[in-house]
Structure 1
Amino acid sequence: MAESSPFARAAQWASHQAGRSWAFITAVVVVVVWAVTGPIFGFSDTWQLVINTGTTIITFLMVFLIQHAQNRDTQAIHVKLDELIRATKGAHNRLIALEDQSEEELAAARLELRRVADAGNAAAEQAKRLVEAKR
């Protein structure tokens, strides 16, 4: 396996850990402890600020971790789909790396595939009617 950057390794580890059950349980425990300490601190502004600041910071950092994980997963899926297209006889190889094309090229490819699908559906309907007519 290739060496990845320290950020990539840390982001992958953190996003993996954040998706585990113990992370959710820890978050619940933190909220419960915070709520229980409310009367001790008189439900003060500082008491409220602690949870607000903590959750804001965690949310801010998680956005970047989630985006990194999503980008990596999306790239892997595209590579796998490109390989399936390449290896499938009769597939349009021009669809490989289509995600790198312009919006106009994406729209044109989508329209072309829609036409092929519509033609296939029409042929299937016609075949179905012929089979039913022979009965």
Structure 2
Amino acid sequence: MKKSAAFTHFAQTAARFTGKPMCFAMAASLIVVWALTGPIFKFNNTWQLVINTGTTIVTFLMVFLIQNTQNRDTEALQIKLDELIRATEAASNTLLALEELDDATLEKQRKRFADLARKAREECARDDPGPGKEATEG
């Protein structure tokens, strides 16, 4: 197994495990045990350093695991959306792989769709004037 494939498998497994209620309960239990040992260690600096160091290390490592799984999920979602666009005759294929475009091009596309949405809302408002009012014929 390649290193990247092994990391991907590990990251996905770790993300699934850490997202379960049992893992949360274990972490919460660890905090409770740490808090209960405070009086034993007289709440000294070493006692505080244990939890600070432990949580910092776990947080640091989890950032990379979560980012890896998030990147994979986002990439898979983009591929699925691209396939839906490609397979829909009325859709514009210019929207394929939109996430790879530069910021200026993305902004142009965003404005284009904002204008389309505004026009659609205006058209809908003309066709449906609301309760108690008659639609204008046109």
TM exceeding 0.5 = yes
Q: Which runs of 5+ in 1 are unaligned?
A: none
Query: Displacement, 1:84?
Result: 1.2
Q: Which ranges of 4 or more aligned residues in structure 1 deviate by more than 6 Å?
A: none
Partner of 1:103: 103
Matched, 1:115 2:115: yes
Matched, 1:50 2:53: no
Give the whole-Å Cα distance in 2 for the aligned partners of 1:43 and 1:123. Answer: 67
The DSSP-based 3-state class of the residue aligned with 1:120 is helix
Matched, 1:132 2:102: no
CA RMSD of aligned residues (A): 1.7
Partner of 2:85: 85
Partner of 1:30: 30
Q: How many residues align?
A: 131
Query: Displacement, 1:119?
Result: 2.2
Per the normalisation by structure 2, the TM-score is 0.88
Give the whole-Å Cα distance in 2 for the aligned partners of 1:68 and 1:106. Answer: 24
Give the whole-Å Cα distance in 2 for the aligned partners of 1:53 and 1:128. Answer: 61
Give the whole-Å Cα distance in 1 for the aligned partners of 2:128 and 2:99. Answer: 36
Query: Displacement, 1:24?
Result: 0.4
Structure holding more helix per residue: 1
The DSSP-based 3-state class of the residue aligned with 1:132 is coil
Q: Which runs of 5+ in 2 are unaligned?
A: none
Give the whole-Å Cα distance in 1 for the aligned partners of 2:40 and 2:9. Answer: 41
Per the normalisation by structure 1, the TM-score is 0.90
Query: Displacement, 1:89?
Result: 2.2
Identity %: 48
Matched, 1:65 2:75: no
